[in-house]
């Protein structure tokens, strides 16, 4: 039987999380960091085929007013099939089910990936409502070899 891609709400294992991020060039984090960030998220979806992890998307935040979209990844083997947008749809459906009026839903795109997020309804900043996004410089400095790598969107 040919197995199909399946998207569902669940946590990946720490090992899967580390390996999928590493596979798209985001470096590695420790098992402890992976466990803590995974259990700290509000909502996580996994894309699987035959049990293997091929995609991921997460929302972190306070669950009512502030939401940050992170770790949106589709493996090279599954890329181009619309799964990235399906992942974003499920994250948006989750946010819509819990966000209060006035909530902020934000993310930081990898340079050049903005058009992907625009297709899902995100808009670039600055715009007429909000200014530019800002990051604390200290956490943009690459980590030393062998240490936890800097975070990615």
Ligand X SMILES: CC(C)(COP(=O)(O)OP(=O)(O)OC[C@H]1O[C@@H](n2cnc3c(N)ncnc32)[C@H](O)[C@@H]1OP(=O)(O)O)[C@@H](O)C(=O)NCCC(=O)NCCS
Please give the residue ranges that form the binding site for ligand X (CB under 6 A).
Answer: 24, 72-74, 79-85, 109-110, 112-113, 115-116, 119, 153
- Residue 74 or 95: the one with the smaller Cβ distance to ligand X is 74
How does strand 5-9 pair with strand 43-49? antiparallel
- Residue 64 or 125: the one with the smaller Cβ distance to ligand X is 125
Residue 134 tokens read as 């800002």
- Residue 44 or 100: the one with the smaller Cβ distance to ligand X is 44
The span from the first CA to the last CA of the chain, in angstroms, equals 36
- Residue 32 or 150: the one with the smaller Cβ distance to ligand X is 150
Nearest distance, CB of residue 150 and ligand X, angstroms: 14
Q: In what order do the strands lie in the sheet with 66-74?
A: 5-9, 43-49, 52-61, 66-74, 104-106
* Exposed / middle / buried, residue 44 (Cβ in 10 Å: 0-12, 13-18, 19+): buried
Nearest distance, CB of residue 41 and ligand X, angstroms: 16
Instruction: Report the residue number whose CB is nearest to ligand X.
Output: 84
Nearest distance, CB of residue 100 and ligand X, angstroms: 26
């Amino acid at each position: 039987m040919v197995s199909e891609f399946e998207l569902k709400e669940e946590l990946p294992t720490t090992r899967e999380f580390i390996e999928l991020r590493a596979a798209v060039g985001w470096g590695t984090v420790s098992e402890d960091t992976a466990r803590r960030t995974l259990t700290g998220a509000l909502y996580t979806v996994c894309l699987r085929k035959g049990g293997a992890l091929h995609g991921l998307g997460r929302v972190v935040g306070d669950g009512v007013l502030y939401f940050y979209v992170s770790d949106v990844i589709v493996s090279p083997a599954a890329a181009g099939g619309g799964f990235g947008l399906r992942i974003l749809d499920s994250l948006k459906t989750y946010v819509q089910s819990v966000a209060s009026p006035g909530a902020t839903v934000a993310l930081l795109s990898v340079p050049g990936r903005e058009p992907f997020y625009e297709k899902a309804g995100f808009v670039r900043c600055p715009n007429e409502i909000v200014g530019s996004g800002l990051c604390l410089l200290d956490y943009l400095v690459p980590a030393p070899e062998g240490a936890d790598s800097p975070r990615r969107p």
